[in-house]
Structure 1
């Protein structure tokens, strides 16, 4: 087991990397659909396909990212992911200059592959940490997303028009430098490549993956994580299209996403403490209810304040729901099982998120903004039922048992 000082240091380094590499996701999501719409001349229902490419990249990269880190360690694995993000930004800018929609979609998939490494920062923060500190370590890392929430949208605002009449190319050039800076910061990371034998759970053999994922608590955490993240992605991906479609400016749309991402990561400074005080299940349930409240506000009208308030509530709901669900999952596997379990978890999670973002554009064109928000309610209900049943009938069995 690592000392708390070392665990905290690693978490701070990962938070700094989250601020830079994590900023690439908001850039891809906030302007991916708009850039796709700019590239398309006919079928605008495909406009969010590049954003789907991003989420698909996160899903497809989850298992290879876990395998790479198992082979070369967290530090070199995460540095490689940051460099993939830089390469994706360069390809995206090239695609915009060439006006190639499909190359642009592929480029966002590359950025998503880099993002799959970013998603595992939260798990890496728990490496060697005592169980009572794990939720706080996750929160420290995700707190870096507050800076990502500013860096990403501001990168778009100040660079998107640098190469007019080629829109958005400058923003993706900016991602090249964000990825390089993130790789430099990650070079200071120090996480043992092999388990620390001083930790009793590390002496236990790894169980088959099927045994780990069949645990009711793992499945409940996965279900709530998927529900929280997929609904957030589904609504957020369509929000810029809805705002611009209502006659609002691109700046209003970009700032709306900035407030949303700030709400996603801002509570991370205290979410871990709330989990310690009230329990993981209560925090996840609160997050799910906030997602429902977001949909209710968005259904109430089309003014700027309604879009922005809905997006803020959507971000808050994601924070509580996703951090709580991640903490639930993190206590269901042993250190010797972490890479394969985390890889499979994120593959399932981001496959669902990529499907949600793909359906977002199709649903927006076919049925409108109101229908998109109505979808949130049944998903929240299912997740709440699963959470309650697990808490009542399947109490925690520690992974070390």
Structure 2
């Protein structure tokens, strides 16, 4: 069983670009980043498909390696689901529980995925019964959480951390704070709760500032130590008055991004459905001891249907990929318009999204 949702990676990449704090400075690197992300997505998709074929053939060790590579390049819910299933088949219950729980937390609300969800829930429950779990709460967000010397994420953690039954050491670390740790014992199928409170380290406490009182000298001067004179503060130059910015382009680009996202999701669902049909038909042909290289007359029709479904799945997948890229490009254009500093009256600049079958970007046109 599989879910082919590779286009979601492009949307995530676009969201990452939008969240950059200095979007104007980041623009020159966008084409290189987009190319790197597209290459990673292609390699992840290739590993993902190889992993599914190996899983279908019962070669779980080889499938695990391919799906692990896909996860490292593009950690989406469908990769987590299939990697969790593979770990389950290999009886690696701790890892199976971790990946299956991750997939279930991000399970999409689409009919094509609904029929797979019970399998994920059942296998998570079976794996969960074989291991323990730790829930970790840290008083300061952003602290690195470490279990038995291995980093498992940053606070606040999403979901549980699955561990083998026994004793485990949980730590929280953050620069500027003294580390906090706790050792807990977890039973098979049980859960241990850990709460770690971080306190600021002494080295990062604020230093006291010496002040003169009632016209007296500062403490340094009382002992004869020279006191450095601070230069007078200069008044800040007044900045230009902010100009009103029209929100019409932002609304238009946002609407276009939403439409692209909707088209991408719809065509992804259709592509998955066609792919599933091709997979089922192919399996039926193999079980019936047929083949499609030089099919017998009884298998000509089913083989043609397999080819038709596979072609349709690929076509819809490409449409979905372009739609997601366009959605991300429109979103980037909207963010660029909002965050880019206002140009002087003697200057004019327009940022437009550029979308084609191989990717997308932003074209900036103007005169300076």
TM-score, scaled relative to structure 2: 0.29
Q: Which has the higher helix share?
A: 1
TM-score, scaled relative to structure 1: 0.27
